[in-house]
Amino acid sequence: IILVPVNSERAASTEELRAAAESCGFSDIREGLLPAAIQAGNSQPTLVTGSLFLAGEALALLVGAPRPARSSQ
């Protein structure tokens, strides 16, 4: 993760963002996604934000779609 400061008095500092990211990081997608999906249950959607690669992996886990191939980029 590359963090850069934003020239706004409302913005969090890069140190605050780094600490927040470290405190909630997960080692893989299953560790973060599956508890959220279980908590939401069948009646609520689970929102996944990020890259298309992340969305593809989440889709594979949640509905059994084929897992996307690993990108070299």
The pTM of this model reads 0.54
Alpha-carbon torsion (35, 39, 40, 42), positive or negative: positive
CB 68, CB 60: distance < 8 Å: yes
- pLDDT tens readout for residues 14-28: 999 888 888 877 778
What does the pLDDT look like over 29-63, one tens digit per residue?
888 888 888 888 878 888 888 888 888 888 888 88
